[in-house]
Structure 1
């Protein structure tokens, strides 16, 4: 095994092996939050959190079969190619998995439209569709983020305003708008902090402060977004990192346990078995 750690995306939804190619961070509910990511060819079941913002996932390159479902529901598959998009407005977390065709990188762009930009408009779900106007607007954002150094935030925000208008008038539904959970830019901030602190004890107060909420309110909206309490999600991230280290490095199992916050090898093995069904050594 190669013991050199590889570059990994600071993925919004959770740690997913890949590479973060570019990012435009939001600072408020009036901003657009954009990430361009290279994804792994095959991804097992992951959680896409429910957030108040509408999420657009635009396929930049590659071809894949993407499956999605509500937690515990029936999988629905869509074959997607470059130019296809998903519009997600779910009020509960969504499970997703995919398998991309070999030979072409599978890259995507995630666009979270700020809550105040949508003016409480309810949108319908869209999976694996095409929209020439939406693609043209997204291409302007992609080009600015990739080709300009540094990218102009005011330009990106201006295109995002046009994107919000187009999405609102094209995909509006008469259903009552029900969007809850922690806003995407705050959730990303918490995920990033969790990722940096996997070796440290779980600190609810610290994460609540990052979200600018009380511990009680933070715990409630975090679970609404992810389906898990903050502490359980933190353990999930620890186990995902442990699986990565077991697969991609030659680090000892004891050192891997320490890297994800477990001083006791037996405790690490017990938690790992609970989450994967096998021991760390068997998994490796």
Structure 2
């Protein structure tokens, strides 16, 4: 394909998706307010795409339960590949000319990372101004697969806390990509000791004052005048859990207190402690206590 004919697409625009794929996505994170990362779930028939390039870095995460034969081209270099079983990830860096075909209808997720977001994380973690991802044909990467599944699950059960959860995964995914699939070959910078006590107190105070809101790592880090990466890393060093886990812990502790001291319904308690419905409270409550809110109350 000549340079003049090259397709540059933005998958946040449905008409752009339909230039490449026959069906629109089943779900997307478009209206969830996630920072630096964008996720879509697809179910597409056997197909051959035109040659094109994304404006964002793209990770294709395929279902491990279905074997699909495919071919992929990166800048004209063709390779046959198989998805399913062991191989379930492909990485398509932004602006890289790319084409693919596959032989049967299949489900997959697409995770897009903003190039500027990845550069920001690279500056903070390895002090480099330019980072390049290396294209990857179908391969096995359980860490990326798990992150992809977790992000996709958020599309099906969006709730208060979604932004904080997505922020945490976006940072973890970016660090993984820099370490394993970029032109940076040296160890990431290490920082030990956690947050200074004043900053830690400031972070915890801010979290508690905004506990029922859809908190984000960005908002907390901005309050502390720190980068997202360093805040997340040093916060976990300080108290042993990530910002997302800490927020969930505090919401569950509030819920337990209300279950003990009030006759409010589980739905009312869920709303009061920052969950969008009783089902979301029940899911998190079970993770932290191995029981449901109703059972917890009956056992008092």
Higher normalized contact order (CA 8 Å, seq sep 6+, divided by chain length): 1
TM-score, with normalisation over the residues of structure 1? 0.49
TM-score, with normalisation over the residues of structure 2? 0.46
Q: Which has the higher helix share?
A: 2
Give 1 or 2 for the bigger CA radius of gyration. Answer: 2
